[in-house]
Each structure stands twice: as structure tokens, then as C-alpha cells.
A and B are shown apart, each in its own frame.
Chain A
Amino acid sequence: MNVQVLFGSIELGMIYAIMALGVFISFRTLNMPDLTVDGSFVLGAAVSAVMCTSGHPQAALGTAFLAGCIAGSCTALLHTKLKIQPLLAGILVMLGLWSVNLRVMAGKANIPLINKTTVFNLLDGTALETYATMIIPAAIIIILMLLLYYFLKTELGLVIRATGDNEQMVRALGCNTDWTILIGLAVANGLVALSGAMIAQYQSFADITMGTGMVIIGLASVIIGEVLFGIKSLMRRLIAVVLGAMLYRLVIAAAYQLGMSPNDFKLVSALIVALALSMPVIKERYQIWKKRRENHANHLGEERKNA
């Protein structure tokens, strides 16, 4: 792997890490399988592309975040007020977002941003210009991690985390879980949309299909991070998610260099997540199998002794 590819993967990894943090909030903190992600990622990219075209690349990021918040709120309301299962609520919003995203993109399936000013032009004319694609995502992900860490330790943050653990307890302690779920899913999808907005500016285009499988990539990042870097404290968990997202990109880049077709990436992602999710069961089975084998061996030994 040459340096350029390595750097490129790290940069992409940091941007996708924003999305992974969003997935972490919905799947882990709220304990809610939120599939809105595939749609809200494109929503962020679409808003970002349109606003870049009209010359507002920085404002595009904030607007994309807010748009993602609205998408997440819709999923939350479908679940809490209309009692639709979280999985289905997410799929419904994701489906609806396809049309919304096309509207945002003025009916075009693809918006190119070649030669448009983006946030990555912020350092133009300074000594750091060449490293802008590395410095800007790094700065954003560090700021977001710190903000998220602080947020999850606030009064509101604590009840959002408790909602994922035990909704009944949260209600018994005077807090409306409909509200905590709404805020949680809004922030989660806001981050996902922000990630989409950055990706669009980074790769100079937005495409209506760019969100497909995003939730699985996010989940894979979260799980890789948990397995390799641990879940001990909240800060450690957040760092693990970010590192997991970067590692995922590196693995994909390595696979690409080794000649794997990009068409197969989604299958590989699905397999990684399936494997990671089944790990506890596989471990348990292995333990049982080992125990039985030992038991059997002991039994044979006894029989031999007796004979």
C-alpha cells in the first residue's frame, strides 16, 4: 500500500467516523436499530452539494446536520407516538428520504462538485494547504468527539444513555422517554448527515445511491472498534468507534490493492458484521464443544483404566 492510498484511507476513515459515531448513538447508546442512516447520509450529501454549488460550503455542513436531525426526529416520532417498530420506522423514513433527496438535488441523481469551493479549500494560501484534506477532517472529528463526550455526560445525556439501558427506570425517574429517543435519534442522524455532507465535498460529488449499506459500514466500524479497543469508559468507546471506522477503510483499501473488486465490498461488509454479531454464540458453542470433548476423553481414559 503506497503512502497516498494510506493517507486517503485515513482521511476517508475520519469522515466516515462521524457517521459511525451517529450509528453508535442509535445502536449502542439508545439500543435502537435505526436504518434511517442510509437515507440521512445521502440527505446530508445532497444538501451539501446543492449549497456548495451556490457557494456556501461551510454553512452546508451545519444545514446538513440540521436536515439529518429532522430525518432522525421523523423516525423517532413514528416509533414513539405511532408505535411503529424502530426497525420499520427507520426503513419507512429511509424510503421516503429517497424522494426527498431527489427533490433536494433538483431531480438529478448526481451532482458533480468539480472546481467548486469546499471546506477543504479553507487552508488555501497557507503553508498547510497540501494537508487540508487530513487536517480538516481530523479537527472536525476531534471536536465532535469532545462535544459528544460532554453531551453524553450532561443531565440530558445521562437520561438518553439510561433510555437505552432501561426505559422503565427513566420514566420512573421523571423523564419522558419519547423525548430522549427523539433527541438521541436526531443527534445520531445529524452526525450521519454531516458525514455525508463532508464525503460529498471530499470526493466532489453527491450521488443518490451513495448511502446504500451505510448503516452496515457504520455498525462494522462500531463493532471492530469495540473488539479491538475496548468498551471500558465512555471516552474509550468513542475513540474505539473512530479508530474502528478508520481501520475499516484501511482494510477496504488493502483488499482493493490485493485485487478485490469494489463490487464485492458490500458482501464482505455484510459478512464482517454477521460474523461480529454472531461472535458471542460462536464462542459459547466452542466452549460447549470443548467441554464435551474433554468429558468424552476423560470418560475413555476411565474406561481404559478399568479395563
Chain B
Amino acid sequence: MLKIETITKIFSPGSINEKKAIDNLSLTLDKGEFVTVIGGNGAGKSTLLNCIAGVLETDSGKIYLGGEDITYMPEYKRSRYIGRVFQDPLLGTAFDMTIEENLAIAYSKAKTRGLAPGIRKSQSKLFREKLARLGLGLENRIQQKVGLLSGGQRQALTLLLATIVKPELLLLDEHTAALDPAASRQVMDLTRQLIMEHQLTTIMVTHNMKNALEFGSRTIMMHEGRIILDLQGRERTEMTVEKLIEHFSRKSGEVLDNDRLLLI
């Protein structure tokens, strides 16, 4: 499904601030695979997602999605195949537009937008049904502006926007990091529900090690732009957070002392 071949991304090349954010990284995802990504600050997790999504262009290497070479495809074109949810709840929605209008924009994702009415009656009904399944009562607030929603509600809505047209790949970039624990839990449950329901191929970056092992079918750990650990199958089911930390120290030669990583 997704095939990344030895990509490299260097920020500010040639300057004293030169930083190799992604270093000869290769990764292959099968269809329907749900991969969680962990790593310290500056490990290159977000950069990896941005390279896949086309926000950043890689300096070398190739990226294939569903057999198609997307290495140089502009971000907005890739978005037709890729759904994304960001860490900042403000980034995923248009705050001055209604919930319904936001959904309508997402719903016309796969086609060229023309002068047809943005929202049709039949769509309105579909949107209500989809919203009802989030279990947040948003189906009764469909005409309200998104600016009135809480962070958790916005992330739930963004998840729906990203998946209402089934994407070939779903990218989640610490999408619960800015939420309080209760909202975070709710959005994570919803994430799992949507991924299971649509059998979505997913990459989820998380700062929560427990979540990383609990969700999905595969976990990779990144350090300095490389994958230093790739856990699947039995090895993964037997893995604990403690052992993971130990692994990290051994593989990276550093002590994991990152405040942002939740160890429990």
C-alpha cells in the first residue's frame, strides 16, 4: 500500500543549523495495517508524516502509494488519497463555517469542485447519520459554527472529515496531545472505531507509549531520523512500556528522559 524507499530530508542544508530530520528511511505498509510511531523530540516523526503528506518535499528517495509514485505530487493532490488529523485542533476545521459546511467540503474531496450546490439534501441526511455515530450530539448542532466546539469535539469532527471519503492512508500526528485526558480517551476510542470500521491503513504518531502498544498492529520507534525498532506480532504483544524504554536506551545509546513522552 505505502512504500517509502530510502528517503532523506535535510533542513537548512549547508548552514550551521543543518539538521538531518529523516535519514535514509525506508518503510513499507501493507493494506489495512495500523502502525503507531514513537520517539523523542526531533526524532523525525512529524517530518516523516509531512513528507508522506506532501507538505515537505524529500531531498532523495521515493514514496509510492497504492503503486503510484507520489514523490513529487503536490500536497493537495495527495490529499485525495490521504486523510490527516493534526495535533492542533484549530488546524483541522474551518472555524467560521458550520459543521455541515465543513463536512460538505470533506465530502467533495475526491472531485473537482465546481458550481454545483455545496450541500444537497441527501448529503445533509448522511452527515447527520455520520455525526450521530460519533456519540457527541453534534448531529443536532449541524448548523452551528465549528468555532463553538471544544477541542475534543473538533478533533472528533476532523477525524470524520478525514475519513468521510475513505482514504487509502490515514495520518494521525499526535492528534490527542492537546486534549485533556477524558477527551483524549474519547477521541482515541473513536479513532479505533473508525479505523476498524473502514479497515484503514494508518500511521499514528503518539507521545503516549502505552497507546502506542495498545493500538494498532505494529509499532516503530524513531531516533534521529531513522527507525531503530520495528515491532510486530508476538514480539509486540509481549512488549511492555518498561522493556520499550530499555530498548530505546540500548539502541540509541541514550537515556530516554523526554518530558513529553508519557511512560504510563
A168 contact set on B, CB distance < 8 A = 86, 91
B118 contact set on A, CB distance < 8 A = 153-155, 157-158
Interface of A, helix, strand, loop or mixed by DSSP: helix
CB-CB under 8 A for A156 and B94, given A172-B84, A174-B109, A177-B76: no
Within 8 A of A (CB), among B81-125: 84, 86, 90-97, 101-102, 104-106, 108-110, 113-119
CB-CB under 8 A for A158 and B97, given A153-B118, A168-B91: yes
Q: Is A151 an interface residue (CB 8 A)?
A: yes
A270 contact set on B, CB distance < 8 A = none
Q: Which of B77, B80, B94, B110 contacts A166 (CB 8 A)?
A: B94
A170 contact set on B, CB distance < 8 A = 76, 94, 105
Query: Distance (Å) between the CB of A232 and the closest chain B CB?
Result: 10
**Binary per-residue interface labels of chain B (124-139) against chain A in the complex, 1 for a CB within 8 Å, 0 otherwise:** 0000000000000000
Q: Is A293 an interface residue (CB 8 A)?
A: no
Within 8 A of B (CB), among A161-197: 161-162, 164-166, 168-177
Q: Which residue of B lies closest to A154 (CB)?
A: B115
Q: Is A159 an interface residue (CB 8 A)?
A: yes
CB-CB under 8 A for A173 and B161, given A166-B91, A166-B93: yes
Q: How many chain-B residues does the 8 Å CB contact rule pick out?
A: 34
Query: Distance (Å) between the CB of B185 and the closest chain A CB?
Result: 25
- Determine which residue in A161, A170, A172, A173 has the highest number of CB atoms from chain B within 10 A of its CB, and name it: A172
CB-CB under 8 A for A159 and B117, given A165-B95, A174-B77: no
Q: Which of B76, B80, B97, B114 contacts A162 (CB 8 A)?
A: B97
With the chains together, A32 CA to B116 CA distance in Å?
A: 25
Q: Which residue of A lies closest to B167 (CB)?
A: A174
Query: Distance (Å) between the CB of B56 and the closest chain A CB?
Result: 13
Interface of B, helix, strand, loop or mixed by DSSP: loop
A175 contact set on B, CB distance < 8 A = 76, 79, 105, 109, 113
B77 touches A169 (CB 8 A): no
CB-CB under 8 A for A155 and B113, given A162-B97, A162-B105, A174-B80: yes
Query: Distance (Å) between the CB of B97 and the closest chain A CB?
Result: 6
With the chains together, A156 CA to B102 CA distance in Å?
A: 13
Q: Is B75 an interface residue (CB 8 A)?
A: yes
Within 8 A of B (CB), among A3-21: none
Q: Is B61 an interface residue (CB 8 A)?
A: no
A169 touches B94 (CB 8 A): yes
Q: Which residue of B lies closest to A29 (CB)?
A: B96
A155 contact set on B, CB distance < 8 A = 104, 108, 113-118
**Binary per-residue interface labels of chain A (123-155) against chain B in the complex, 1 for a CB within 8 Å, 0 otherwise:** 000000000000000000000000000010111
Q: Is B66 an interface residue (CB 8 A)?
A: no
Query: Distance (Å) between the CB of A277 and the closest chain B CB?
Result: 18
B75 touches A158 (CB 8 A): no
Within 8 A of B (CB), among A228-281: none
Q: Give 14 new A-B contacts, CB below 8 A, not counting A153-B118, A162-B101.
A: A154-B115, A154-B118, A155-B118, A156-B115, A165-B96, A166-B94, A170-B105, A171-B75, A171-B76, A172-B75, A173-B109, A174-B76, A174-B79, A176-B74
- The contact sample of 11 A-B pairs, CB cut-off 8 A, is A154-B116, A155-B114, A158-B101, A159-B105, A162-B105, A170-B105, A171-B76, A172-B79, A172-B84, A174-B109, A177-B76
Which chain B residues have a beta carbon within 8 Å of chain A's beta carbons?
53, 74-77, 79-80, 84, 86, 90-97, 101-102, 104-106, 108-110, 113-119, 161-162
Please give me the 9 A-B residue pairs with the lowest Cβ-Cβ distance, nearest first.
A165-B94, A155-B113, A162-B94, A158-B118, A174-B79, A174-B109, A174-B80, A176-B76, A156-B113
